[in-house]
């Protein structure tokens, strides 16, 4: 009888679980945090569902359907309101109205914010880029597609001027705060952004904080609108994702079954 010998080789097991999809981001570099769900796939779920997009459209309409408005922080028509304060408020009112009207030159502010809200309801995350003028004041906003944005780890604490309103009067106090970086990657191009309110100068190409950054490479700021308190937001409908996938697959199977003529 011939004896056959077999050698058993131990499989190489990776220390970390491999991703089931490729999104182009290197999560081991730049302190980028991996999202809990495939953001690109979450954004496409509205195309597969028969009701999700209608719910998101209704949600967006209820939030932005009445437009943007400006309000006083005090009772402007009160008899005891100081005249100097009212004059200053009227001046600020005019500036805010112009800012809201020309927040984006290509589309209205409601349309841009509508894109952000739609991303937030689809993926749990919405991003808007804030542009500043030469004096450092906000001058406009731009929409950022959530599927191409990732969140980085928190940085060390920095001192900022925290402004708050006390009985209609704006006051300032010093406080320490930690900020995040954001990175956008489309194909092979990568751009960094800093969190809104971060006083430091960031290089948009490298993500490093440096006061020697050339003016054309100074990073702009990002406001992150998310659902939940995590690093990334989670959509409201996430608990129903398996049912949505199953219903879609069942409908596709039923459609193809009859389309191919397999029926009596």
pTM: 0.82
Q: Give pLDDT tens digits for 154-199.
A: 999 999 999 887 876 778 999 999 999 999 998 889 999 999 999 9
Domain assignment of residue 176, yes or no:
no
Please tell me the predicted confidence (pLDDT) of residue 22: 60
Q: In which order are the strands placed within the sheet that holds 221-226?
A: 138-144, 125-132, 221-226, 189-195, 180-186, 149-154
Domain assignment of residue 3, yes or no:
no
Q: Give pLDDT tens digits for 69-100.
A: 888 878 888 888 888 888 888 888 988 888 88
Domain assignment of residue 199, yes or no:
yes
Least confident of 16-20, 45-49, 230-234, 254-258: 16-20
Q: How many structural domains compose the chain?
A: 1
Q: Residue 227 belongs to what domain range?
A: 39-153+182-259
Please tell me the predicted confidence (pLDDT) of residue 79: 81
Q: What is the rounded CA–CA span in Å between residue 117 and residue 59?
A: 9
CA distances from 114 to 40, 138, 163, 175, 197 (A): 18, 19, 28, 33, 23
Domain assignment of residue 21, yes or no:
no
Please tell me the predicted confidence (pLDDT) of residue 5: 53
Q: What is the rounded CA–CA span in Å between residue 94 and residue 258?
A: 63
Please tell me the predicted confidence (pLDDT) of residue 262: 63
Q: What is the rounded CA–CA span in Å between residue 60 and residue 225?
A: 14
What residue has token string 């209205």? 108
Count the neighbouring beta carbons within 10 Å of the beta carbon of residue 134: 6
For residue 174, report the phi and psi dihedrals to the nearest 5 degrees: -85, 140
Token pair for residue 156? 């060390």
Q: Is 4 left (phi over 0), alpha (psi -120 to 50) or beta?
A: beta
Q: What is the rounded CA–CA span in Å between residue 83 and residue 93?
A: 15
| The residue count for the chain | 264
Token pair for residue 260? 């191919």
Domain assignment of residue 1, yes or no:
no
Q: Give pLDDT tens digits for 123-139.
A: 999 999 999 988 888 99
Domain assignment of residue 126, yes or no:
yes
Beta bridge partners of 244: none
Domain assignment of residue 124, yes or no:
yes
For residue 130, report the phi and psi dihedrals to the nearest 5 degrees: -105, 125
Least confident of 105-114, 175-184, 192-201, 255-264: 255-264
Please list the alpha-helical segments (H only) found in the chain.
39-48, 52-64, 83-101, 109-123, 241-259
Q: Do 34 and 229 form a contact (C-beta atoms < 8 A)?
A: no
Domain assignment of residue 65, yes or no:
yes
Beta bridge partners of 171: 164
């Amino acid at each position: 009888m011939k004896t056959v010998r077999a050698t058993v080789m131990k499989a190489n097991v990776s220390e970390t679980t491999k991703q089931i999809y490729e999104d182009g981001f290197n999560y081991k570099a730049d302190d980028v945090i991996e999202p809990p769900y495939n953001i690109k796939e979450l954004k496409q779920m509205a195309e597969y569902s028969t009701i999700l997009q209608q719910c998101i459209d209704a949600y967006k309409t209820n939030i932005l359907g009445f437009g943007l408005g400006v309000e006083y922080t005090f009772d402007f028509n009160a008899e005891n309101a100081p005249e100097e304060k009212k004059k200053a408020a009227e001046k600020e009112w005019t500036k805010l109205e112009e800012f809201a009207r020309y927040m984006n030159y290509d589309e209205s502010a409601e349309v841009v914010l509508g894109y952000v809200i739609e991303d937030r309801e689809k993926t749990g995350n919405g991003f808007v880029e804030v542009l500043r003028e030469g004096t450092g004041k906000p001058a406009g906003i731009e929409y950022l597609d959530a599927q191409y944005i990732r969140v980085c780890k928190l940085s060390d604490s920095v001192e900022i001027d925290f402004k708050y309103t006390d009985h209609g009067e704006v006051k300032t106090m010093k406080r320490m705060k930690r900020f995040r970086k954001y990175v956008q990657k489309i194909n092979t191009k990568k751009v960094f952004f800093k969190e809104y309110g971060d006083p430091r100068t960031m290089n948009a190409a490298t993500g490093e904080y440096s006061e020697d950054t050339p003016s054309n490479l100074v990073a702009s700021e990002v406001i992150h609108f998310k659902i939940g308190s995590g690093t990334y937001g989670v959509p409201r409908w996430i608990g129903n994702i398996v049912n949505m996938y199953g219903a879609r697959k069942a409908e596709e199977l039923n459609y193809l079954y009859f389309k191919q003529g397999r029926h009596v």
